[in-house]
Structure 1
Amino acid sequence: MAVDDITPRATWDALRADPDAALIDVRTNAEWNFVGFPDLSEAGKEPLMISWQVFPSMQVNAAFVDHLRKAGLTPLNKLYFLCRSGARSLAAAQAAQAAGFAHSFNISDGFEGPPDAEGHRGQVAGWKAEGLAWRQR
């Protein structure tokens, strides 16, 4: 079974409509602190911060699926995975799906999306570029 990509806007709509939907931000602590993260307060939610790779080694977090379960998520939840540009989140969604979380989705273009012509992220595609709410710590 393949993991479906979903746009940031469609993710936002799903999070607002489904009380059991959750956004899992799989980036690192440094990214959450310095780049920002989705603000889901209007949907009455907080993103779950569970790194897919551990900084600074960037080795895959062997306890990732355990962290999903410890956060109270079940195979009935719809899970939306987010990273910088959509690559780590796809791997995380695939791991979740393989562990029995059938409703796992990859947020296409992630939080910042690809770089623009000048090498800056957050302008072309992704959560920030779509004008969705976000904040910094």
Structure 2
Amino acid sequence: MKKTLLTSSVLMLSLSVSAAPTPNDPKKQTPQGLYVDSKEAYEMLQTDPTAILVDVRTPEEWQFVGHTHLAKIMIPSVLFDYTQYDEKKLRYKSVSNSQFISQFEEAAAKLNASEESKYILMCRSGSSRAQPAAKMLDQYGYKNIYVMTDGFEGSKTKRGDKKGFRLENGWKNSNLPWTYKIQIPK
């Protein structure tokens, strides 16, 4: 009975993991071609204790927007240059974190993980930082990288009085576990 239940759960998980569609925009696709939405990522983390959630957002986002304690690796793939302002995008310019790969490999080693381990990358919306990070990791031999397509905050609403707010899908809007509280690792 237990074996049948476990087999059914694994089968359901493998079916659900392939449910997240491949992004239409080629710029948002990754060499690995592995995509999950936040609910599928959560399910994967619950059923596969070897899967590792990687939050590639900035420390400012972790503290002020929130984060999940399920992220075992928290390393920004980009940082903001507060000396340069982008007038067109109305925000500070972002620059690649030149230490991302070395920080990632150090964090993975502490978890006894390797290039073969299963990683799920999460950024804000699933479209701007997780894909470039997956592409970088692919160049270093990491082939089992999933991109969470709806990110931590999800998509912007298209109409109504909340138009433009990130209130659709995503980790936070799916009522998955998250917090504002930062815990210093011991």
Same fold (TM over 0.5): yes
Q: Please, which of 90, 99, 106 is the counterpart of residue 131 of structure 2?
A: 90
Q: TM-score when scaled to structure 2?
A: 0.66
Paired letter, 1:51? P
Distance 1:113 1:76 in 2: 28
Question: Which aligned segments of 4 or more residues in structure 1 are displaced greater than 4 angstroms?
Answer: none
Q: Which segments of 5 or more consecutive residues in structure 1 lack a partner in the other structure?
A: 41-45
Q: Please, which of 146, 151, 160 is the counterpart of residue 110 of structure 1?
A: 151
Q: Give the structure 2 partner of residue 43 of structure 1.
A: none
| Preserved CA contact (<8 Å) 2:32 2:143 | no
Give the RMSD, CA atoms, in angstroms.
1.5
Q: Give the structure 2 partner of residue 120 of structure 1.
A: 165
Distance 1:94 1:16 in 2: 26
* Offset of residue 115 of structure 1: 1.5
Matched-pair identity in %:
32
Paired letter, 2:76? S
Q: How many residues are matched?
A: 131
Which of 1 and 2 has higher RCO (CA within 8 Å, sep 6+)?
1
Q: Give the structure 2 partner of residue 58 of structure 1.
A: 94
Q: Which segments of 5 or more consecutive residues in structure 2 lack a partner in the other structure?
A: 1-30, 82-92, 182-186
1:74 aligns with 2:114: yes
Report the secondary structure of 1:100's partner residue. coil
Paired letter, 2:114? T
